[in-house]
């Protein structure tokens, strides 16, 4: 994938959502490697304001060209920034339109990836 888009610094991650019997999200865990969960669950006081909440609620991917200038970053976005990743793409992994997880792509340089890559 890195060769295909010609961005050797490209990082990938997968996040799975744990679910209880009534279908509510009870947590998240990484599968293999996750960018946002690389050091465990970030301590976030406003989880409803994260990019993850936006993607979960809308069912649509979000591309942030530069997280460092995004207003309202939470501990989730700060975790990605602390890894040196500014350009961040987050897409839902759906099963019958129900979010089961997320696919993450991050790059250190702002605006390096787009929907056209």
Q: Which tokens belong to 73?
A: 């970053």
Query: pLDDT at position 106, please?
Result: 93
Domain membership of residue 29 (yes or no) is: yes
Domain membership of residue 103 (yes or no) is: yes
Q: How far apart are CA 69 and CA 106, in angstroms?
A: 15
Q: How far apart are CA 79 and CA 50, in angstroms?
A: 12
What average pLDDT does this structure show over 24-33? 56
Q: What pLDDT, in 10s, does the model give residues 87-100?
A: 999 999 998 888 88
- Number of domains the chain contains: 1
Domain membership of residue 116 (yes or no) is: no
Residue 27 has pLDDT above 80, yes or no: no
Domain membership of residue 114 (yes or no) is: no
What average pLDDT does this structure show over 59-68? 94
pTM (2 decimals)? Answer: 0.82
Domain membership of residue 10 (yes or no) is: yes
- Which CATH number characterizes residue 80's domain? 3.30.450.40
């Amino acid at each position: 994938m890195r060769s295909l888009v010609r961005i050797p610094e490209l990082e990938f991650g997968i996040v799975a959502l744990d679910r209880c019997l009534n279908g509510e999200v009870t947590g998240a865990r990484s599968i293999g490697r996750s960018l946002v969960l690389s050091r465990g669950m970030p301590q976030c006081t406003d989880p409803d304001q994260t990019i993850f909440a936006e993607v979960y609620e809308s069912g649509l991917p979000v591309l942030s060209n530069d997280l460092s200038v995004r207003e309202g970053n939470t501990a989730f976005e700060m975790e990605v920034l602390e890894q040196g990743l500014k350009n961040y793409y987050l897409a839902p992994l759906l099963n019958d339109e129900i979010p089961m997880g997320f696919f993450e792509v991050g790059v250190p340089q702002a605006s390096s990836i787009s929907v056209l890559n």
